[in-house]
Chain A
Amino acid sequence: MTFQITAPLLDACVLGIVDHEDAYGYVLTQQFRNVMDVSESTLYPVLRRLQKSGFLTTYDRPFEGRNRRYYSITEEGKKILCDYRKDWMDYTDAVGELLGGAKNE
C-alpha cells in the first residue's frame, strides 16, 4: 500500500472493529490484512496498549480444548473511538479537498 498507517490510526481501527463485534487476535489481524499490509505480530502491542489504557477488556472462551482471548470495547474505548472517528472525518475531508476530489461544489 502506498500510504503508511500510524499508531493512532491502528488504535482507532482496532477499536472500530471490536466496537462492531468482539474479536480475538487472529481474526482481528486477518481483518487488517484484508485491507493493508501489516505483519502478523503488529497487533499484539496495540491490543495490549489499548487494554492497559482501559479502552479494551478481554475474556476467554474455550475453543477446541484451548482458549480464545476475545477483546471487547469499554465505555472509555467507545468515547475515544468517537473522537477518533470525528478526527478521521475531518482529516479525510481536508485531504480529499487537497487531492481535488469530490468536494468541489
Chain B
Amino acid sequence: MNKEEYIKELQKRLKLLPKEDREDAVNYYEEFICEMELNEGESICNRIGTPKEVAKAILGETTEKQLEKQKEKKSVKGGAKVVWLTILAIFSIPILIPVGICVWLLFLVFGITAFALVVAGIISFVALFAPAPIGQKLVAAGVGMVLIGLGMFLGIGVVQLIQLTARLMVKIVKRK
C-alpha cells in the first residue's frame, strides 16, 4: 500500500462522515504523511497507524460529539413533553368538570328510571285489589312484579356504578 492507497483507504473508512469533516481529516493526514516524508504504506501504518485505526479515532471523536448533541436534543424534547403535558392538564380540568357533571346526570336519570319502574310495578300490583277479572288481575300482578324486579336491578346497578365512579374521581383528583 503506497501513500495514495493509504489515503484512499482512509477516505473509504470515513465515508459516513459529512463531506467537510472527511475532507478536513484526509487533508490533515495527507499533509502529515508529506511532512514525515513517508511514501511506503507499511511505514505510514507503523508511524501513524493503519487507516482503520486512524478512522476509528476520528469517528470516535465525531460520534461522541454527535451523541452529546443528541442528548441535548432529547432533553429539549423532554422539555417539550413536559410543556405538552402541562397544556393538556390545564385543558383537561375544564373538560373533566363537564364530563363529570354529565356522568352524574346520567346516573341520576338511571336512578329516577329505576325508582319509576319500582313505583309502576307497585301500582300494577295494587291492581290486584281492583274489581276486575282474575285473569287480568294476575297479568297486572305479574307485570308489576317484573317491573319491580327490573327497577331494583337497575337501582342496584346504579348504586354500584356511583360507588365506582366516586372512587375513580377521588383517584384522579388525588393524582393531580
Contact = CB atoms under 8 A, between A and B. Distances in A.
B60 A41 contact: no
- A contact residues, range: 10 to 19
A68 interface: yes
For the residues of B in contact with A, the DSSP-based class is: helix
A69 B31 contact: yes
Contacts of A16: none
Contact of A41 (B34, B35, B57): B57
A26 B32 contact: yes
B96 interface: no
Interface residues of B, number: 21
B65 A40 contact: no
Interface in A19-55: 24-26, 29, 39-42, 44-45, 47-49, 52
B55 to A, nearest CB: 10
A104 interface: no
Given A25-B31, A40-B32, A67-B31, A49 B65 contact: yes
Contacts, number: 52
B27 interface: yes
A89 to B, nearest CB: 28
Contacts of B34: 66
Nearest to B35: A26
Contact of A44 (B25, B35, B47, B65): B25
A25 B32 contact: yes
A45 B31 contact: no
24 contacts: A24-B35, A25-B28, A29-B32, A39-B48, A39-B49, A40-B32, A40-B36, A40-B47, A40-B48, A41-B53, A41-B57, A42-B57, A44-B25, A44-B28, A45-B57, A45-B61, A48-B25, A48-B58, A49-B61, A49-B65, A52-B65, A67-B31, A69-B27, A69-B28
Across the A-B interface, give the 3 residue pairs with the lowest CB-CB distance, nearest first: A26-B35, A45-B61, A40-B48
Given A24-B31, A44-B25, A69-B31, 9 more contacts: A40-B48, A41-B53, A42-B57, A44-B28, A44-B57, A45-B57, A48-B61, A66-B34, A68-B31
